Amino acid sequence: MSPSLRNEIKQTKPFASLEAEAHLNIERTAAVIGHAVGEGLKPFGVTPTQYNVLRILRGAGEKGLCRNEVRDRLVAQVPDVTRLLDRLEALGYIARERSSADRRLVSTRITPAGLEILEQLEQPVLEMHARLLGHLSKEQLMTLIDLLTLARESAGQ
């Protein structure tokens, strides 16, 4: 069996509760996997959040999405979606267009360059997922997904 979180983080005292230990396990696992994903994307010049935005916009199709719709669909919330979109636009991966009917509305769409980087990332990301979680059985993965979904539901998601 793998070392416990207490050993991993060199904590000598027991956790205050099972819930506290579970919470810290979720946080530690997210941090470890998140770091690995960030390192895997780094050679492509894309952060995990930028990758998430590109996937969201690819799924939105030609119509695109406004900033708030992108914000609401992000896996991890970020404080400044406008700056995130500014960086993606500077890279040429997205384009924004103000509505002529309502100047307050700005639609964001993925560009051909954005679609190309997603295509380049498809296989490396699949391999990364397999490397990080492929040791779990299908049943274990389904249980993990179900348990994490239940945890998010109780957190108000």
Residue spans of the domains in the chain: they are 16-154
Q: Is residue 93 within 8 Å of residue 110, measured between CB atoms?
A: yes
15-47 pLDDT, tens digit each: 889 898 899 999 999 999 999 999 999 999 999
pTM over cut 0.85: yes
User: Of 53, 61, 63, nearest to 85 (Cα)?
Assistant: 53
Quick one: how far is CA 80 from the chain centroid?
Answer: 15
CATH code for 16-154? 1.10.10.10
Spell out the alpha helix ranges (H) of 9-47: 18-41
